[in-house]
Amino acid sequence: MARLFSQRSRHATWRKLWLFLAESQRELGVETITEEALEQMRAHLELSDADFQVAKVEEKRRRHDVMAHIHAFGAVAPAAAGIIHYGATSCFITDNSELMLMRNAMDLLLPRLAKVIWNLSQFAIKWRAEPTLAYTHLQPAQLITVGKRAAQWAQDLLLDLESIESARDSLRFRGAQGTTGTQASFLEIFGGDGSKCDTLNELLCQKAGFPSCYEVSTQTYTRKVDLIISNVLAGLGASVHKICGDIRHLAAWKEVEEPFEKDQIGSSAMAYKRNPMRSERLCSLSRELMSKPMNFANTLASQWMERSLDDSAIRRMDIPEMFLLADAILLGLDNVSNGLVVYPQRIKARVHEELPFMITETIIMRLVAQGESRQEAHEQIRVLSHQASSTVKDKGEQNDLILRIKATEFFRPIWNELDGLLKPELYIGRSAEIVERFCGKGGVLDARIRPYKNFIEESTTSELMV
Protein backbone atom coordinates (compact mmCIF):
# COMPACT_ATOMS: atom_id res chain seq x y z
CA MET A 1 0.00 0.00 0.00
CA ALA A 2 2.87 2.36 0.79
CA ARG A 3 4.40 1.57 -2.58
CA LEU A 4 1.08 2.17 -4.35
CA PHE A 5 0.79 5.67 -2.90
CA SER A 6 4.47 6.53 -3.28
CA GLN A 7 5.53 9.47 -5.43
CA ARG A 8 7.15 7.08 -7.89
CA SER A 9 3.90 5.16 -8.32
CA ARG A 10 1.76 8.30 -8.51
CA HIS A 11 3.87 9.98 -11.19
CA ALA A 12 4.25 6.78 -13.18
CA THR A 13 0.44 6.68 -13.22
CA TRP A 14 0.46 10.26 -14.55
CA ARG A 15 2.72 9.16 -17.40
CA LYS A 16 0.45 6.23 -18.20
CA LEU A 17 -2.49 8.62 -18.43
CA TRP A 18 -0.61 10.93 -20.78
CA LEU A 19 0.21 7.90 -22.92
CA PHE A 20 -3.41 6.68 -22.84
CA LEU A 21 -4.58 10.12 -23.95
CA ALA A 22 -2.06 10.38 -26.79
CA GLU A 23 -2.71 6.83 -27.99
CA SER A 24 -6.46 7.41 -28.01
CA GLN A 25 -6.15 10.72 -29.81
CA ARG A 26 -3.96 9.13 -32.49
CA GLU A 27 -6.49 6.29 -32.87
CA LEU A 28 -9.12 8.95 -33.48
CA GLY A 29 -7.12 10.59 -36.25
CA VAL A 30 -4.98 13.26 -34.57
CA GLU A 31 -2.09 13.20 -37.07
CA THR A 32 0.27 15.43 -35.09
CA ILE A 33 0.78 12.55 -32.65
CA THR A 34 3.34 10.24 -34.23
CA GLU A 35 4.16 6.62 -33.52
CA GLU A 36 7.67 7.76 -32.61
CA ALA A 37 6.21 10.01 -29.93
CA LEU A 38 4.18 7.14 -28.50
CA GLU A 39 7.18 4.78 -28.53
CA GLN A 40 9.28 7.29 -26.61
CA MET A 41 6.48 7.76 -24.07
CA ARG A 42 6.11 3.99 -23.61
CA ALA A 43 9.85 3.66 -23.05
CA HIS A 44 9.83 6.13 -20.14
CA LEU A 45 6.71 5.31 -18.12
CA GLU A 46 8.85 4.56 -15.07
CA LEU A 47 10.60 7.59 -13.59
CA SER A 48 14.31 7.66 -12.93
CA ASP A 49 15.95 9.68 -10.18
CA ALA A 50 17.04 12.10 -12.89
CA ASP A 51 13.40 12.56 -13.95
CA PHE A 52 12.48 13.53 -10.42
CA GLN A 53 15.36 15.97 -10.28
CA VAL A 54 14.23 17.64 -13.51
CA ALA A 55 10.66 17.83 -12.16
CA LYS A 56 11.91 19.32 -8.92
CA VAL A 57 13.75 22.09 -10.72
CA GLU A 58 10.79 22.78 -13.00
CA GLU A 59 8.31 22.88 -10.12
CA LYS A 60 10.44 25.34 -8.20
CA ARG A 61 10.52 27.51 -11.29
CA ARG A 62 6.90 27.18 -12.42
CA ARG A 63 5.12 26.53 -9.08
CA HIS A 64 2.93 23.89 -10.79
CA ASP A 65 3.54 20.20 -10.23
CA VAL A 66 1.67 18.90 -13.28
CA MET A 67 3.48 21.28 -15.64
CA ALA A 68 6.77 20.34 -13.99
CA HIS A 69 6.20 16.66 -14.77
CA ILE A 70 5.05 17.44 -18.31
CA HIS A 71 8.41 19.08 -18.92
CA ALA A 72 10.25 16.20 -17.24
CA PHE A 73 8.40 13.66 -19.42
CA GLY A 74 9.04 15.70 -22.54
CA ALA A 75 12.75 15.82 -21.75
CA VAL A 76 13.04 12.02 -22.08
CA ALA A 77 10.42 11.71 -24.84
CA PRO A 78 11.33 14.70 -27.06
CA ALA A 79 9.22 13.51 -30.01
CA ALA A 80 6.21 13.74 -27.70
CA ALA A 81 7.15 16.97 -25.89
CA GLY A 82 4.75 19.08 -27.94
CA ILE A 83 1.70 16.81 -27.64
CA ILE A 84 1.85 15.60 -24.04
CA HIS A 85 -1.30 16.76 -22.20
CA TYR A 86 -2.95 17.85 -25.49
CA GLY A 87 -6.39 19.29 -24.71
CA ALA A 88 -6.22 18.25 -21.06
CA THR A 89 -6.49 20.09 -17.79
CA SER A 90 -4.46 19.20 -14.68
CA CYS A 91 -7.39 17.25 -13.24
CA PHE A 92 -7.25 14.87 -16.18
CA ILE A 93 -4.00 13.71 -14.62
CA THR A 94 -4.57 14.19 -10.89
CA ASP A 95 -8.19 13.06 -10.65
CA ASN A 96 -7.95 10.08 -12.98
CA SER A 97 -4.79 8.90 -11.23
CA GLU A 98 -6.49 9.17 -7.82
CA LEU A 99 -9.38 7.09 -9.08
CA MET A 100 -6.94 4.48 -10.37
CA LEU A 101 -4.96 4.47 -7.12
CA MET A 102 -8.07 4.18 -4.95
CA ARG A 103 -9.40 1.33 -7.06
CA ASN A 104 -6.08 -0.50 -6.80
CA ALA A 105 -5.96 0.21 -3.07
CA MET A 106 -9.36 -1.38 -2.55
CA ASP A 107 -8.12 -4.37 -4.54
CA LEU A 108 -5.34 -4.70 -1.95
CA LEU A 109 -7.68 -4.33 1.02
CA LEU A 110 -10.39 -6.78 -0.02
CA PRO A 111 -8.36 -10.03 0.10
CA ARG A 112 -6.78 -8.96 3.40
CA LEU A 113 -10.23 -8.40 4.83
CA ALA A 114 -11.43 -11.75 3.49
CA LYS A 115 -8.47 -13.42 5.24
CA VAL A 116 -9.45 -11.89 8.59
CA ILE A 117 -13.05 -13.03 8.08
CA TRP A 118 -11.77 -16.53 7.34
CA ASN A 119 -9.64 -16.50 10.51
CA LEU A 120 -12.65 -15.58 12.61
CA SER A 121 -14.85 -18.15 10.91
CA GLN A 122 -12.37 -20.92 11.73
CA PHE A 123 -12.17 -19.70 15.32
CA ALA A 124 -15.96 -19.54 15.54
CA ILE A 125 -16.37 -23.12 14.27
CA LYS A 126 -13.80 -24.43 16.75
CA TRP A 127 -15.52 -22.79 19.72
CA ARG A 128 -19.11 -22.92 18.44
CA ALA A 129 -20.43 -24.92 21.41
CA GLU A 130 -18.36 -23.46 24.28
CA PRO A 131 -20.84 -21.69 26.61
CA THR A 132 -19.83 -18.23 27.75
CA LEU A 133 -21.47 -15.26 29.39
CA ALA A 134 -23.21 -12.86 27.05
CA TYR A 135 -23.45 -9.21 28.06
CA THR A 136 -26.07 -6.56 27.57
CA HIS A 137 -25.37 -3.14 29.10
CA LEU A 138 -21.99 -4.82 29.87
CA GLN A 139 -23.84 -6.81 32.54
CA PRO A 140 -24.08 -10.63 32.38
CA ALA A 141 -27.02 -11.78 30.28
CA GLN A 142 -28.15 -15.16 28.97
CA LEU A 143 -25.42 -17.45 27.71
CA ILE A 144 -24.08 -17.59 24.18
CA THR A 145 -20.96 -19.41 22.99
CA VAL A 146 -17.42 -18.24 22.35
CA GLY A 147 -17.91 -19.13 18.71
CA LYS A 148 -21.16 -17.21 18.29
CA ARG A 149 -19.54 -14.00 19.49
CA ALA A 150 -16.77 -14.48 16.92
CA ALA A 151 -19.40 -15.15 14.25
CA GLN A 152 -20.92 -11.76 15.04
CA TRP A 153 -17.51 -10.16 14.56
CA ALA A 154 -17.14 -11.95 11.24
CA GLN A 155 -20.58 -10.82 10.10
CA ASP A 156 -19.74 -7.17 10.77
CA LEU A 157 -16.58 -7.54 8.70
CA LEU A 158 -18.52 -9.29 5.94
CA LEU A 159 -20.79 -6.25 5.74
CA ASP A 160 -17.66 -4.11 5.40
CA LEU A 161 -16.34 -6.39 2.68
CA GLU A 162 -19.58 -6.02 0.76
CA SER A 163 -19.56 -2.24 1.21
CA ILE A 164 -15.99 -1.93 -0.05
CA GLU A 165 -16.75 -4.23 -2.98
CA SER A 166 -19.76 -2.08 -3.85
CA ALA A 167 -17.76 1.15 -3.65
CA ARG A 168 -15.01 -0.38 -5.75
CA ASP A 169 -17.39 -1.77 -8.40
CA SER A 170 -19.34 1.48 -8.66
CA LEU A 171 -16.17 3.54 -9.19
CA ARG A 172 -16.05 5.32 -12.52
CA PHE A 173 -13.42 7.28 -14.44
CA ARG A 174 -13.29 11.04 -14.89
CA GLY A 175 -11.87 10.69 -18.35
CA ALA A 176 -11.19 13.62 -20.71
CA GLN A 177 -13.72 16.29 -19.77
CA GLY A 178 -11.87 19.57 -20.26
CA THR A 179 -11.40 22.43 -17.82
CA THR A 180 -14.99 22.70 -16.60
CA GLY A 181 -16.42 19.39 -17.73
CA THR A 182 -17.79 20.57 -21.10
CA GLN A 183 -15.21 18.78 -23.28
CA ALA A 184 -14.79 22.05 -25.20
CA SER A 185 -11.05 21.57 -25.81
CA PHE A 186 -11.55 18.05 -27.17
CA LEU A 187 -14.48 19.19 -29.31
CA GLU A 188 -12.04 21.69 -30.82
CA ILE A 189 -9.42 19.00 -31.43
CA PHE A 190 -11.97 16.77 -33.18
CA GLY A 191 -13.36 19.56 -35.35
CA GLY A 192 -16.71 19.72 -33.57
CA ASP A 193 -17.35 15.95 -33.73
CA GLY A 194 -18.95 15.13 -30.37
CA SER A 195 -19.03 11.40 -31.13
CA LYS A 196 -15.24 11.37 -31.13
CA CYS A 197 -15.27 12.96 -27.66
CA ASP A 198 -17.42 10.04 -26.50
CA THR A 199 -15.18 7.52 -28.22
CA LEU A 200 -12.13 9.15 -26.63
CA ASN A 201 -13.54 8.47 -23.18
CA GLU A 202 -14.48 4.92 -24.14
CA LEU A 203 -10.90 4.29 -25.23
CA LEU A 204 -9.50 5.85 -22.04
CA CYS A 205 -11.79 3.70 -19.89
CA GLN A 206 -10.69 0.55 -21.73
CA LYS A 207 -7.01 1.38 -21.26
CA ALA A 208 -7.40 2.32 -17.58
CA GLY A 209 -9.73 -0.58 -16.76
CA PHE A 210 -12.92 1.31 -15.88
CA PRO A 211 -16.44 0.46 -17.10
CA SER A 212 -17.33 4.06 -17.94
CA CYS A 213 -16.93 7.71 -16.97
CA TYR A 214 -19.10 9.68 -14.59
CA GLU A 215 -21.86 11.19 -16.69
CA VAL A 216 -21.28 14.72 -15.36
CA SER A 217 -18.00 16.29 -14.26
CA THR A 218 -16.87 19.78 -13.39
CA GLN A 219 -13.16 20.49 -13.42
CA THR A 220 -12.98 17.44 -11.14
CA TYR A 221 -14.95 14.29 -10.58
CA THR A 222 -17.42 15.01 -7.79
CA ARG A 223 -15.82 14.89 -4.36
CA LYS A 224 -18.87 12.89 -3.27
CA VAL A 225 -16.93 9.87 -4.53
CA ASP A 226 -14.17 10.42 -1.97
CA LEU A 227 -16.76 10.74 0.78
CA ILE A 228 -18.45 7.49 -0.23
CA ILE A 229 -15.13 5.61 -0.13
CA SER A 230 -14.08 7.18 3.17
CA ASN A 231 -17.43 6.20 4.69
CA VAL A 232 -17.02 2.52 3.84
CA LEU A 233 -13.46 2.51 5.18
CA ALA A 234 -14.61 4.30 8.33
CA GLY A 235 -17.21 1.55 8.68
CA LEU A 236 -14.38 -0.97 8.65
CA GLY A 237 -12.63 1.06 11.33
CA ALA A 238 -15.76 1.02 13.49
CA SER A 239 -16.09 -2.75 13.15
CA VAL A 240 -12.47 -3.35 14.10
CA HIS A 241 -12.72 -0.97 17.05
CA LYS A 242 -15.74 -2.93 18.32
CA ILE A 243 -14.03 -6.30 17.85
CA CYS A 244 -10.83 -5.21 19.56
CA GLY A 245 -12.78 -3.53 22.34
CA ASP A 246 -14.47 -6.87 23.00
CA ILE A 247 -11.10 -8.63 23.00
CA ARG A 248 -9.73 -6.10 25.48
CA HIS A 249 -12.65 -6.75 27.83
CA LEU A 250 -12.27 -10.51 27.47
CA ALA A 251 -8.55 -10.15 28.24
CA ALA A 252 -9.38 -8.19 31.39
CA TRP A 253 -11.65 -11.05 32.47
CA LYS A 254 -8.88 -13.54 31.53
CA GLU A 255 -11.19 -15.45 29.17
CA VAL A 256 -9.64 -14.76 25.75
CA GLU A 257 -6.34 -13.13 24.85
CA GLU A 258 -4.65 -11.90 21.73
CA PRO A 259 -1.31 -13.57 20.87
CA PHE A 260 1.37 -12.92 23.49
CA GLU A 261 4.96 -13.78 22.65
CA LYS A 262 7.21 -15.82 24.97
CA ASP A 263 9.49 -12.87 25.78
CA GLN A 264 6.92 -10.10 25.30
CA ILE A 265 6.78 -7.46 28.04
CA GLY A 266 3.43 -6.02 29.05
CA SER A 267 4.69 -3.27 31.32
CA SER A 268 8.08 -1.82 32.17
CA ALA A 269 7.05 -1.56 35.82
CA MET A 270 4.46 -4.32 36.37
CA ALA A 271 6.18 -7.46 35.17
CA TYR A 272 3.05 -9.62 35.49
CA LYS A 273 1.04 -7.56 33.01
CA ARG A 274 -0.23 -9.07 29.73
CA ASN A 275 -1.62 -5.94 28.12
CA PRO A 276 -3.62 -6.41 24.90
CA MET A 277 -1.38 -3.91 23.13
CA ARG A 278 -2.18 -5.08 19.59
CA SER A 279 -5.90 -4.63 20.11
CA GLU A 280 -5.24 -1.29 21.78
CA ARG A 281 -3.17 -0.19 18.79
CA LEU A 282 -5.92 -1.28 16.41
CA CYS A 283 -8.49 0.70 18.37
CA SER A 284 -6.23 3.74 18.16
CA LEU A 285 -5.70 3.42 14.40
CA SER A 286 -9.41 2.73 13.91
CA ARG A 287 -10.37 5.96 15.66
CA GLU A 288 -8.19 7.89 13.24
CA LEU A 289 -9.71 6.08 10.27
CA MET A 290 -13.22 6.74 11.60
CA SER A 291 -12.45 10.48 11.67
CA LYS A 292 -11.62 10.73 7.95
CA PRO A 293 -15.15 11.15 6.51
CA MET A 294 -15.51 14.53 8.23
CA ASN A 295 -12.60 15.90 6.19
CA PHE A 296 -14.03 14.53 2.95
CA ALA A 297 -17.50 15.85 3.78
CA ASN A 298 -16.07 19.30 4.42
CA THR A 299 -14.09 19.15 1.18
CA LEU A 300 -17.20 18.23 -0.80
CA ALA A 301 -19.21 20.98 0.89
CA SER A 302 -16.51 23.58 0.16
CA GLN A 303 -16.24 22.99 -3.59
CA TRP A 304 -17.48 26.33 -4.87
CA MET A 305 -19.15 26.13 -8.25
CA GLU A 306 -17.00 24.01 -10.59
CA ARG A 307 -13.98 23.59 -8.31
CA SER A 308 -11.94 25.21 -5.55
CA LEU A 309 -8.27 24.33 -5.13
CA ASP A 310 -8.56 24.05 -1.35
CA ASP A 311 -9.47 20.42 -1.99
CA SER A 312 -5.99 19.59 -3.21
CA ALA A 313 -3.63 19.66 -0.23
CA ILE A 314 -5.95 17.90 2.21
CA ARG A 315 -6.83 15.13 -0.26
CA ARG A 316 -3.13 14.50 -0.92
CA MET A 317 -2.87 13.64 2.76
CA ASP A 318 -6.21 12.01 3.48
CA ILE A 319 -6.60 9.69 0.49
CA PRO A 320 -3.29 7.85 1.07
CA GLU A 321 -3.71 8.01 4.85
CA MET A 322 -7.14 6.38 4.93
CA PHE A 323 -5.91 3.47 2.83
CA LEU A 324 -2.65 3.12 4.76
CA LEU A 325 -4.65 3.12 7.99
CA ALA A 326 -7.07 0.49 6.68
CA ASP A 327 -4.17 -1.64 5.46
CA ALA A 328 -2.30 -1.43 8.77
CA ILE A 329 -5.50 -2.24 10.67
CA LEU A 330 -6.17 -5.35 8.58
CA LEU A 331 -2.57 -6.53 8.89
CA GLY A 332 -2.83 -6.15 12.67
CA LEU A 333 -6.24 -7.80 12.92
CA ASP A 334 -5.04 -10.71 10.78
CA ASN A 335 -2.33 -11.30 13.36
CA VAL A 336 -4.72 -11.00 16.31
CA SER A 337 -7.54 -13.09 14.84
CA ASN A 338 -5.13 -15.81 13.71
CA GLY A 339 -3.77 -16.36 17.22
CA LEU A 340 -6.57 -15.81 19.73
CA VAL A 341 -6.08 -17.84 22.90
CA VAL A 342 -9.11 -19.16 24.81
CA TYR A 343 -9.10 -20.20 28.47
CA PRO A 344 -12.07 -22.61 28.80
CA GLN A 345 -11.68 -23.28 32.52
CA ARG A 346 -11.71 -19.57 33.31
CA ILE A 347 -14.78 -19.16 31.12
CA LYS A 348 -16.53 -22.06 32.90
CA ALA A 349 -15.73 -20.57 36.31
CA ARG A 350 -17.25 -17.22 35.33
CA VAL A 351 -20.29 -18.91 33.81
CA HIS A 352 -20.93 -20.86 37.02
CA GLU A 353 -20.72 -17.66 39.06
CA GLU A 354 -23.69 -16.31 37.14
CA LEU A 355 -25.46 -19.55 36.15
CA PRO A 356 -27.97 -19.48 39.00
CA PHE A 357 -29.26 -16.19 37.59
CA MET A 358 -29.23 -17.58 34.05
CA ILE A 359 -31.66 -20.41 34.88
CA THR A 360 -34.31 -18.16 36.45
CA GLU A 361 -36.20 -17.69 33.18
CA THR A 362 -36.43 -21.46 32.77
CA ILE A 363 -37.63 -21.81 36.36
CA ILE A 364 -40.40 -19.28 35.72
CA MET A 365 -41.52 -21.07 32.56
CA ARG A 366 -41.61 -24.46 34.31
CA LEU A 367 -43.62 -23.09 37.22
CA VAL A 368 -46.14 -21.55 34.84
CA ALA A 369 -46.40 -24.90 33.02
CA GLN A 370 -47.46 -26.39 36.36
CA GLY A 371 -50.16 -23.79 36.92
CA GLU A 372 -48.38 -21.03 38.89
CA SER A 373 -48.84 -17.35 38.05
CA ARG A 374 -46.10 -16.04 35.79
CA GLN A 375 -46.15 -12.66 37.57
CA GLU A 376 -45.95 -14.21 41.02
CA ALA A 377 -43.10 -16.48 39.96
CA HIS A 378 -41.29 -13.47 38.53
CA GLU A 379 -41.68 -11.56 41.80
CA GLN A 380 -40.51 -14.48 43.93
CA ILE A 381 -37.42 -14.93 41.72
CA ARG A 382 -36.73 -11.20 41.70
CA VAL A 383 -36.67 -10.96 45.50
CA LEU A 384 -34.42 -14.00 45.95
CA SER A 385 -32.11 -12.91 43.11
CA HIS A 386 -31.51 -9.54 44.73
CA GLN A 387 -30.80 -11.22 48.04
CA ALA A 388 -28.27 -13.54 46.39
CA SER A 389 -26.74 -10.61 44.57
CA SER A 390 -26.27 -8.81 47.87
CA THR A 391 -24.52 -11.89 49.28
CA VAL A 392 -22.04 -11.74 46.40
CA LYS A 393 -21.53 -7.96 46.39
CA ASP A 394 -21.76 -7.04 50.06
CA LYS A 395 -20.23 -10.14 51.65
CA GLY A 396 -17.93 -11.38 48.88
CA GLU A 397 -19.43 -14.86 49.17
CA GLN A 398 -20.61 -17.37 46.56
CA ASN A 399 -23.88 -16.99 44.72
CA ASP A 400 -26.45 -18.81 46.91
CA LEU A 401 -29.59 -18.30 44.80
CA ILE A 402 -30.17 -22.04 44.30
CA LEU A 403 -30.00 -22.65 48.05
CA ARG A 404 -32.52 -19.85 48.61
CA ILE A 405 -34.85 -21.33 45.99
CA LYS A 406 -34.58 -24.76 47.63
CA ALA A 407 -35.49 -23.18 50.97
CA THR A 408 -38.57 -21.34 49.64
CA GLU A 409 -41.85 -23.30 49.65
CA PHE A 410 -43.21 -21.54 46.58
CA PHE A 411 -40.63 -23.35 44.43
CA ARG A 412 -41.32 -26.85 45.78
CA PRO A 413 -42.81 -28.05 42.44
CA ILE A 414 -39.43 -27.71 40.73
CA TRP A 415 -37.02 -28.49 43.59
CA ASN A 416 -36.13 -31.89 42.17
CA GLU A 417 -35.31 -30.31 38.77
CA LEU A 418 -32.90 -27.65 39.97
CA ASP A 419 -29.65 -29.63 39.93
CA GLY A 420 -30.35 -30.84 36.41
CA LEU A 421 -30.88 -27.26 35.29
CA LEU A 422 -27.35 -26.21 36.26
CA LYS A 423 -25.80 -27.22 32.93
CA PRO A 424 -24.51 -24.29 30.84
CA GLU A 425 -25.08 -26.07 27.53
CA LEU A 426 -28.84 -25.96 28.21
CA TYR A 427 -28.85 -22.17 27.89
CA ILE A 428 -26.95 -21.46 24.68
CA GLY A 429 -30.03 -21.81 22.50
CA ARG A 430 -29.14 -22.38 18.83
CA SER A 431 -25.70 -20.77 19.11
CA ALA A 432 -23.80 -23.73 17.67
CA GLU A 433 -26.29 -24.13 14.82
CA ILE A 434 -26.11 -20.41 14.01
CA VAL A 435 -22.33 -20.60 13.82
CA GLU A 436 -22.41 -23.71 11.62
CA ARG A 437 -24.89 -22.13 9.23
CA PHE A 438 -22.92 -18.89 8.94
CA CYS A 439 -19.28 -19.99 9.27
CA GLY A 440 -19.30 -23.68 8.36
CA LYS A 441 -18.39 -25.34 5.10
CA GLY A 442 -20.91 -24.36 2.46
CA GLY A 443 -22.26 -21.62 4.73
CA VAL A 444 -22.78 -17.93 4.08
CA LEU A 445 -19.19 -16.89 4.70
CA ASP A 446 -17.76 -19.75 2.69
CA ALA A 447 -19.66 -18.59 -0.39
CA ARG A 448 -18.90 -14.88 0.05
CA ILE A 449 -15.14 -15.13 0.52
CA ARG A 450 -14.65 -17.80 -2.16
CA PRO A 451 -13.36 -15.22 -4.70
CA TYR A 452 -10.45 -14.60 -2.33
CA LYS A 453 -9.68 -18.28 -1.73
CA ASN A 454 -6.27 -18.24 -3.44
CA PHE A 455 -5.04 -15.29 -1.37
CA ILE A 456 -6.32 -16.91 1.84
CA GLU A 457 -4.66 -20.24 1.06
CA GLU A 458 -1.35 -18.60 0.11
CA SER A 459 -1.40 -16.44 3.26
CA THR A 460 -2.21 -19.41 5.47
CA THR A 461 0.59 -21.47 3.91
CA SER A 462 3.05 -18.64 4.51
CA GLU A 463 1.99 -18.39 8.15
CA LEU A 464 2.46 -22.12 8.66
CA MET A 465 5.94 -21.94 7.12
CA VAL A 466 6.89 -19.10 9.48
Type of residue found at 172: R
Q: CB–CB of 220/311 below 8 Å?
A: yes
Question: Any catalytic annotation for residue 85?
Answer: no
Altogether, the residues listed in the chain come to a count of: 466
CA distance 163 to 169: 10
The distance in angstroms from the start CA to the end CA of the chain is: 22
Partner residues linked to 356 by β-bridges: none
The torsion angles phi and psi of 130, rounded to 5 degrees, stand at -85, 105
Question: Any catalytic annotation for residue 137?
Answer: yes
Partner residues linked to 341 by β-bridges: 257
Consecutive H or E run containing 342: strand 341-342
On the 0-12 / 13-18 / 19+ scale of CB atoms within 10 A, 369 is exposed
The torsion angles phi and psi of 135, rounded to 5 degrees, stand at -135, 130
DSSP three-state, residue 360 = helix
DSSP three-state, residue 145 = strand
What does the DSSP 8-state code read for residue 466? -
Q: CB–CB of 133/140 below 8 Å?
A: yes
CA distance 290 to 84: 40
Active-site hit among 6, 166, 170, 267: 267
Which residues belong to the active site? 137, 267
